[in-house]
Each structure stands twice: as structure tokens, then as C-alpha cells.
Structure 1
Amino acid sequence: MTAALHLREPAVLVLEDGRTFTGRSYGSRGETVGEAVFCTAMTGYQETLTDPSYHRQVVVMTAPHVGNTGWNDEDDESSRIWVSGYVVRDPALRPSSWRSQRSLEDELVTQGVVGICDIDTRALTRHLRERGAMRVGIFSGEDARMPSAHLLERVTAAPAMAGASLAQEVSTDEAYVVEAVGERRFTVAAIDLGIKAMTPHQMAQRGIEVHVLPATSTFEDINAIDGLDGVFFSNGPGDPSAADHEVGVLRETLAAGIPFFGICFGNQLLGRALGFGTFKLKYGHRGINQPVMDRRTRKVEVTAHNHGFAVDAPLDKDTETEFGTASVSHVCLNDDVVEGLELRSASGELTAFSVQYHPEAAAGPHDAAYLFDRFVDLLQQQTTSEGANA
């Protein structure tokens, strides 16, 4: 018998401002706490759950029906589920996909992920939009029967996301290499701050040999890679203001003139390396349907997002930095949040760039896949320049 057919026990969701939702247990039974965030994706829940950027977060799905396509062994973006808890309105009674190998709920039970269902996720999402992302707890079984004041104490005792340094908790312990598909054209060091599997895959498809390094790596570790052509910083969880080590490594990379590409957390760290501040968004951007404009081409892309922090950089002017001229390259059309940065030399050549969203799009639309091609162009530009100067 699958988990979906088990008798569901009462469960309760408690927000740190005291608002409470009652429902039924979903997935593993017990207690979990984290930051409550909502995801607007209609599909791709498996990739969402296995995205390390969701570490220490309780994800609320705005789509009403979740679990319809089950779970398979091919679509994971990392080695495990990273969310702290999962909230859905109507879980699927059974999966319906030829690729499904088991139900979503079975996988949640296997990996010990506590969830809740049969609650008004629309009301919960509206509350988070009005009040902002906040700490939350899900309690089922015996825990759900405890006094509400006691449950609220457990929620407020949980650490806040602001100030949290989490990249090293989700990063790889050992370096590994993703080989280029076909002829190797370039070699890149990718700092794993919570990298998704599709990212090095996208680079490998373009002839890049990707050396994935732990978040604790130093500039010396990067520079020790034979034939290094560029550096990449991945997505990841936590507050960029707490990532001083990673910012220091990136500043050394920029000073050395090594081509750089960053996504999501990597965009925030590039912002800090260039002297910009970062701030926590009220409720963040999470989903695979967020409109972004490339300010250079004026093209509007529908993109995949998962971030609760953003870069504080001016939209109306360039900024001179010690590494060159920085500008905002992409902007979110919903709220004018910075979604990308560019760094150019005195001669106007691109030397580094980043985006706040996910061009690897797992899950999500493929509108932004061109950014990996832009990275290839940057690497080729650097190689050509070095050859001309040799």
C-alpha cells in the first residue's frame, strides 16, 4: 500500500506571527521548522524539492494539485530532497506518468520530509505576500496535539534566514569533474554553493570540462586547475551578506582577469564583490514563470527563480569599480528587482556577468539557455585575446 492510501493524521501549520492552519499529514509524520516560502510553479516539483537552494525552507506550492507525475530516478537535481517541509492543498491519489517509479509521498516518507495537505494554500500564500516570508513549523501525530503556545515557541526558536551562512552545508565535500561532451573546448572551475545537476550538464554540452569544487575552495585551489579558462559560481541557499569567504575568492578571480559567470547566489556574490549591497526580499521570487528583461537586447524571458535576497545596484546608471564598469543587465518586470549584472573593461569588453535566475531551467522554460552560450563566447574572447598577446 502506498503512503497516499494511508489514513491521514491531523496536522497543524504554525507561522511565527501566530497564524495557524489545520490540515492532514502528508509525507513523513513528526515536526519540522524552517522559513515559509511559496513556489508558483505548476510543474517540476521533483526538481524543486531536490534543489539545494531550498535548504532550511518549508515550500508552499501554489498549484492546487501536486504529485500527479509521481517520482522517478532521473529528474533529481542533487542527491537528496533539501526542503525542510512541504505544503500542498490536494495531493494526487496516485501518480499518472509512464516515467513514474513511485509516488511523491512515498519519496517524502523515505527521505523523512514532514508535510501537510488539505489546507487553504491560497490563503497561506496571500498571508506570506502581505506579511513576508517568516519562520514556520509543521506538526503532525502527537506533536499536533500540543498546546498552540508551545508549538509557537518551537517555531520562534528556529534560526532566521537573515544572516545564515548555508552554502557549505549543501556543497560537495570532494571535487569532481563533469567531462565535456565531444571535443573539450574550455576548462572551467565551478564553485558548488548548492549547484543543480543540470548546470554542469548544460556547460558540458557546449564543450566545457567542468571542475566542481567545494564552497570552501580558495583562489589557489581554482588556479591550480590545469588549463583554467573561466570560473563559475552556482546557486545556493543563505544570506549573501554572510558569505565573506566566497566573496573574497571572487574578488581575487576578478582581479586576476579570469572570465566569470554566476547564477542566483553567484549573482548576489558578484554584486558584493563589486561593492554593491544586498537585501532580503519581502517574500522572494520562486517559480518557473517569472518575467525578466535583458536590457541589452530588450528581449523578455520567462524564467525560473528561487531567491529570497537581491542585489542593491542602480538601474539608471553604470558604476565604476576597481575591476571595471558594472551595470545592471537584467531586471524583473514584476518589481524592478536586479536580475543580472555585467562587468566590462576600460575598452568595453565583457569580463564577467551573472543572472539572478536559473538559465539551466530544471524545471522551467528554456528562454535563458543562451546565457551558457554567452559564457562560451566570453571564454572564447579571452582565449583569442591571450593568443593575440602571446
Structure 2
Amino acid sequence: MPTPTGGLTMAPARLALEDGSVFHGQAFGDLSPRCIDAEVCFNTSLTGYQEILTDPSYRSQIVTMTYPLIGNYGINEADLESGKIQVSGFIVRELANVMSNYRASQKLENWLSDQNVTGITGIDTRALTRKLRTTGAMNGILCTDTNLSDAELVAQAKTAQGLVGRNLVEGVSRTEPLQWDEDLGDWAPLHGEVERPAKQFRVVAIDCGAKLNILRNLTDSGCDVIVVPWNTSAEDILAHEPDGIFVSNGPGDPAPVTETIENIKKLHGQKPIFGICLGHQLLCLSLGAETYKLKFGHRGGNQPVQNLHTGKVEITSQNHGFAVDTESLESVGAEPTHINLNDRTLAGFRHNELPIFAIQYHPEASPGPHDSRYLFDCFIDMMQTGQSPTGEKMDLAQRRRNNLITSVTNEV
């Protein structure tokens, strides 16, 4: 039976991993007897648990927060990145007993309960994170059913499906076209204001699990945004007469998302194309490059990325478990523009001839720093010039956002 603990109603819960490890804690959120199987990963952000929980890129994952105290500022309606919680389960070291924020409308555990999502608290998240870093991302079982033994849970974890080879995009994409017109409003960063272009550029955004703040940033940068489902044909996309095409973030393995990849191939050279995260991987696959699964992925708001042209470093928000093989990308006529300094994996590219560029990280932040917001300006520039931005042009756009250059010129 669930019992109250420190003002919270909790029940016993366990996390079992495929390597045989079992962590015992207390459940919060949905306390019904159940077992959830998914890949277990970790996020190193200090804040932003609400945005993380609603990020469609976390579909079929159980997310561990490395920051030890979670839930202290509650939940509000303004900071959602999609219409619902997307994670399969949630792991925290300590769930806050009290929420304290003037914007909050409910507690974290009540929100999870309302959406039938189970969390576990009271386990050693530092030990869990070290295990995932050493062994690599593992499938796990988050269970509140006391009738099952630890050995039975480990056996379930060993046979869990995982992420590789699954098309998770079709489960998070919108199913009908949508006209998007919300911008950042009062939440636009105070620094780096750039005047919107005189022309409003029509952009078709292919929704592979798009975060709302990406769409807000596109609008805020001067785009008229039409969001379409992940499997919309190239012909239907071009029927909107766009000035540019955007390929969004999304969950899991990019290789099985073959319909999107084939449609993007047909769009090469037709219109300028910009991609973020999964969109970066899908664009690379459409060009003929290859992707592979990372050992434990990049998830957090503190990932260092370097501009290969200037050597300048920006701190970025990231969330992905797969990466693009750099040599395979160079062999199909593309040029790396950014790398992740933690492991030297590809973090951005441009095509040398086609108006295509993409990045592996998240310039919209949510949560995370705003160092990379200038990349939306680079998309505007690519639609104006028909040329993919070089590393130098990206640097100039970033300087303009940082108020280091004051005039808007054709250089950027």
C-alpha cells in the first residue's frame, strides 16, 4: 500500500538494468503496480526538468537527472515543450517536499500522476550515472509491482527492445498540418536583439517531434511557419511554396525514419534546408552519410561545441543518443562546421554546393544557454542568399547577436 513520506504519498519502486543492477527507492507520480521498459539515460542540466520531461526526443527513455534536488519550483503551463510528458519514466535523487515559485500551478508528482507517468526517488543517481558512463546506455525496467522478484526484473531488462531500429518519430509527430504563429514574446532573451527581416519567409517545418521553443524561435526570427507531419511528401511540402524547409528534432534512431529521409532527398536543391538534432542526422542520411549509436549520448545544457573555422567555443544544450560519421559525410560533399569538444563527434555541417546546413545541438535552449540562437539568423541568411553559411558567416551572425557588431550588412 502507498504510504505518506514527508508529506508525499509514495510506494516501493525498483530500477533494474540489463547488466543485473537493481536500485531500490520510492515511486512518485503514478503509483499503480506496473513495469515500464525503456532505455535509461541521464541529463546533466541543473534546471529545466519540465522542458526535459515534455521533449519528444525522450520518447521511450527513462531519464535520470544528475542534479540531486528536483521539483522545487513545481510545474507551470508556460514551460511545456509539447502537449504532454514524453518520457517513459523519471529518476531523481531527491524529490522536493515543497514547491516554491509564483508561476507554479501544481507539484511535479501530481503532474506526473495526472499523466500516468511513474518516477523513482531515493536512489543513488551518482552511482547510476557513473555506471551508464562506464558501461554505456542500458535498457532498464522501472517497476512498482512488488510481486516480481529482482531477478525477474533483470530478465525483463535483458529482453527489452531498446531504441535501435525503431521508428519512434511516427508516435510523436503531428498528424495534420498546422499554421504556427507564436513567437518568444516576453521570454525572448534580453541580450542580442536583432531586427527582423523586411520580408517574412515562409518555412515548412517537418515535425519529427519538434520542441515548441524551436517553432517560437523560427517565428521570432521572421518566419511564417507551417508545421507538417513527419511523412509529408516532397510534393506536398513544395505545394506550400516555402522559402525554406526546416527538419526538426525527434527521438531515437534516425535510420528507420526512411520516409522522411527519402522525402528530404527529393528536396535537395529545391529550397534551403536547415536541421536541428534528429533533423541534422536525417539530412546527413539523405545525403548518403552514415549514423551510429553513441555510448551514452549527450544530454544536458553544458555541452561545449567548437566552430572549426574560428576556434570559438559555445556552450550548448544537447539531447541525442546517435551521431553522424564525419568521414562518411565529407565523402558526399559536405563540410563539418562544428564539433563536440567532449568526444570530438560531429556537431554541425554545411553542404559545399547545396543550400543545406544543420547542427546536432539545440539553439532554442529550453533548458540551456542562448549562445547558439544566432543559427536561426543563419537560416534567414541562407534563404536570402541561397548559400549555406560558412563558419565565418556563422561567427559574424553570433557576433551580431552578442552586440559585438552593430550594423546589419550583407556579410551576415
TM over 0.5: yes
Alignment equivalent of 1:120, drawn from 120, 124, 131: 124
Does residue 191 (structure 1) correspond to residue 199 (structure 2)? The answer is no
Contact preservation (8 Å) 1:12, 1:144:
no
1:248 is the counterpart of 2:262: yes
SS at match of 1:241: coil
1:287-366 equivalences in 2 (<5 Å): 287-314=300-327, 319=330, 321=332, 325-345=333-353, 351-366=355-370
Aligned equivalents of 2:210, 2:9: Cα separation in 1: 37
Q: CA deviation at 1:3?
A: 9.7
For 2:6 and 2:326, the matched residues in 1 are separated by 47
Q: Deviations over 1:190-224 (max 9, x none)?
A: 00000000111101112100110001111011111
Distance in 1 (alpha carbons) for counterparts of 2:376 and 2:136: 33
The aligned residue for residue 43 of structure 2 is: 39
Structure 2 unmatched runs, 5+: 184-195, 388-412
Contact persistence 1:68–1:94 (CA under 8 A): yes
Shift of 1:59: 0.1
- Contact 1:192 1:215 (8 Å CA) reproduced: yes
Q: Which residue of 2 aligns with 1:285?
A: 298
Deviation at 1:320, TM superposition (A): 5.2
Alpha-carbon shift at residue 180 of structure 1 (Å): 7.7
What SS is found at the alignment partner of 1:240?
coil
- The equivalences for 1:370-389 within 5 A come to 370-382=374-386
- 1:309 counterpart SS class: strand
TM-score by length of 2: 0.86
Shift of 1:184: 5.4
Structure 1 Cα separation of the partners of residues 39 and 159 of structure 2: 12
Instruction: Check the 8 A contact 1:31/1:114 in 2, yes or no.
Output: no
Aligned partner of 1:81: which letter?
Answer: I
Q: Does structure 1 retain, via aligned residues, the 8 Å contact 2:39–2:137? A: yes
1:90 and 2:94 aligned: yes
Q: Which residue of 2 aligns with 1:74?
A: 78
Q: How far off is 1:297 after superposition?
A: 3.0
1:100 is matched by which residue type in structure 2? A
1:160 alignment counterpart: 162
Residue of 232, 237, 246 corresponding to 1:232: 246
Superposed CA offset, 1:60-117 (max 9, x none): 1100000111000100000000000000001111111111111111101111111110
Secondary structure in 2 aligned to 1:144?
Answer: coil
Q: Provide the rounded CA distance (Å) in 1 between the counterparts of 2:263 and 2:317.
A: 27
Question: What amino acid does structure 2 have at the position aligned with 1:16?
Answer: E
C-alpha distance in 2 between matches for 1:147 and 1:234: 41
Identity of aligned residues (%): 43
Q: What SS does structure 1 have at the residue aligned with 2:268?
A: helix
Instruction: Give 1:67's aligned amino acid.
Output: G
Counterpart selection for 2:229 from 208, 214, 217: 214
| 1:4 Cα deviation from its structure 2 partner | 7.3
Distance 2:99 2:147 in 1: 31
Question: In the TM superposition, what is the alpha-carbon distance from 1:246 to its structure 2 partner?
Answer: 1.1
Q: Tell me the distance in 2 between the aligned counterparts of 1:180 and 1:196.
A: 13
RMSD, aligned α-carbons: 1.8
Asked whether the equivalents of residues 184 and 209 of structure 1 are also in contact (C-alpha less than 8 Å), the reply is: no
Q: Deviations over 1:155-179 (max 9, x none)?
A: 2333121111111110001110113
2:326 partner letter: A
Letter in 1 for 2:257: A
* TM-score normalised over the length of structure 1: 0.91
Q: Secondary structure at the match of 1:373?
A: helix
Q: How many residues align?
A: 369
Q: CA deviation at 1:26?
A: 1.9
Q: Which letter does structure 2 place at the counterpart of 1:380?
A: Q
> In the aligned structure 2, how far is the partner of 1:51 from the partner of 1:7?
27
**8 Å contact from structure 1 (residues 180, 209) kept in 2:** no
**In the aligned structure 2, how far is the partner of 1:51 from the partner of 1:308?**
14
Q: Is residue 2:202 matched to residue 1:202?
A: no
Question: Residue 387 of structure 1 corresponds to which residue in structure 2?
Answer: none
The answer for the alignment partner of 1:169 in structure 2 is 171
Distance 1:371 1:118 in 2: 40
User: What is the rounded CA distance, in whole Å, between the counterparts of 1:188 and 1:334 in structure 2?
Assistant: 33
Deviation of 1:145 after TM superposition, in Å, equals: 3.8
| Structure 2 equivalent of residue 269 of structure 1 | 282
Secondary structure of the structure 2 residue equivalent to 1:105: helix
Amino acid at match of 2:352: R
Q: Report deviation, 1:238.
A: 1.8
> What does residue 187 of structure 2 align with?
none
Could you list the per-position Cα deviations for residues 266-310 of structure 1 after superposition, in whole angstroms to 9, with x for gaps in the alignment? 111111122211000000000011000111232211100100000
Q: Does 1:100 align with 2:104?
A: yes
Cα separation, 1, equivalents of 2:368 and 2:345: 20
Indicate conservation of the 8 Å contact 1:70/1:101, yes or no.
yes
Give secondary structure in 1 for the equivalent of 2:298.
strand
Question: Residue in 1 aligned with 2:410?
Answer: none
Q: Say whether the 8 Å CA contact 2:177–2:227 is kept in structure 1.
A: yes
Residues 1:90 and 1:180: Cα distance change in structure 2 (over 3 Å): closer
